Amino acid sequence: MNEPLVFMFSGQGSQYYHMGKELFKENIVFRQSMLEMDAIAAQRIGTSIVEEIYHPAKRVAEPFDSLLFSHPAIFMVEYSLYKVLEDRGIYPDYVLGSSLGEFTSAAVSGVSDAENILDCILEQAIVIQKSCDKGKMLAILDKPQLLNDYPQLFGNSELISINYDSHFVISGEEENIKQIMEALKEKQILCQLLPVSYAFHSSLIDPAESAYAEFLRSISFKKPSIPVISSLTGSCLHEMDKHFFWNAVREPMKFREAIRYLESQHTCRFIDLGPSGTLTAFVKQLIPGDSTNRCCSIMTPFHQELKNLNTVECFRKPERKFAR
């Protein structure tokens, strides 16, 4: 049981209404963290994120794609779940974020406090909504060679991630992504539209860069106290400069490379703190051998988080607590 423990945090596309509902109802640490951050967000945007996440009229299957709500909501549930694990004496040896999940990694690793990171996320959502046209992200369950096989079909999209050998993601304008979806269905190629209203990791969000860069000039960041493995670089980060918090959502994601980097250093164990367990599914495709015993998730759309939380007790390593 000496394998390094990695906490993983996912980004846009992993969210849904009522995520973490059982934890919010039953776990005082999770609920308190959510409410504290909700109060901070409400001061900034004038409305409650928590009320939107757990709105009684919303169903899990409905797209949760309003950026001003979904952007902070992902961070809030991930960071609150981290606080639950911390309360139980379960600490990471590494943190690994993908896209918006990089912001949760930054907060957990002590680069900045959760309030500052939440402010960075809210500002990013505000600037993108104000500056950018809407777009879509499409996950495709096939080999990336498909892009070369049908160059005309994918010409108006951008490859933003290869998650494993038969799963990649593209971004683009809504109409172009719709046409690609229809063509793929005709070819009987599985694809899934992500619940995202902007084309992250593509040139379509470039109009927001200058305003967001101006905001970031006023924020200071420290060196991480827990090693950060980044899907921006596919390797270990020793510091996060101001450009990182834009590049993390603009540049292509290198989650596959990040996992390969980690596994080249250690045989690791992974806990996915994202809402959907998406990164667990990716890791199981990327690591050899008995991946089931080395990787788990807690939150799911099926509200099994209390049961799943009890299964991670074996990951407890109190001696790994990092000083702040």
Residue 292 lies in a domain: yes
163, 32: one domain = no
Last residue of a domain, one of 194, 212, 239: 194
pLDDT score for 218? 85
The residue range of the domain holding 76 is: 5-132+201-315
Phi, psi (rounded to 5 degrees) for 270: -130, 135
pLDDT < 50 positions in the chain: 320-324
- 200-226: per-residue pLDDT in tens? 999 999 999 999 999 999 888 999 999
pLDDT score for 321? 46
Last residue of a domain, one of 194, 212, 235: 194
Q: Is 99 a catalytic residue?
A: yes
303, 213: one domain = yes
pLDDT score for 242? 83
* DSSP letter assigned to residue 222: P
Mean pLDDT of the chain: 92
pLDDT score for 137? 96
pLDDT score for 266? 86
Question: Using CA atoms, how far apart are residues 167 and 161, in angstroms rounded to an integer?
Answer: 9
189, 269: one domain = no
Radius of gyration over alpha carbons of the chain, in Å? 19
219, 128: one domain = yes
**CATH code for the domain in which residue 149 is found:** 3.30.70.250
State the total domains in the chain: 2
Place of tokens 């490379």: 257
Residue 323 lies in a domain: no
Angle between helices 67-87 and 101-108 (to 10 degrees): 40
- Strand 269-272 versus strand 295-297 pairing type: parallel
114, 206: one domain = yes
Q: Are 214 and 142 in contact (CB under 8 A)?
A: no
119, 163: one domain = no
* DSSP letter assigned to residue 253: B
Question: Using CA atoms, how far apart are residues 241 and 5, in angstroms rounded to an integer?
Answer: 25
Residue 261 lies in a domain: yes
pLDDT score for 318? 52
Last residue of a domain, one of 145, 169, 194: 194
147, 249: one domain = no
The one catalytic residue in 10, 14, 99, 171 is 99
pLDDT score for 323? 41
pLDDT score for 179? 95
**CATH code for the domain in which residue 303 is found:** 3.40.366.10
* Helix, coil or strand: residue 94: strand
103, 249: one domain = yes
Residue 234 lies in a domain: yes
**What residue type is assigned to position 286 of the chain?**
L
124, 147: one domain = no
pLDDT score for 176? 95
Residue 322 lies in a domain: no
Residue 321 lies in a domain: no
Question: Using CA atoms, how far apart are residues 151 and 96, in angstroms rounded to an integer?
Answer: 33
What is the maximum span of the chain, computed from C-alpha positions, in angstroms? 55
Residue 320 lies in a domain: no
33, 120: one domain = yes
Exposure string for 8-30, b = 16+ CB within 10 A, e = fewer: bbbbbbbbbbbbbbbbbeebebb
**What residue type is assigned to position 11 of the chain?**
G
295, 175: one domain = no
297, 155: one domain = no
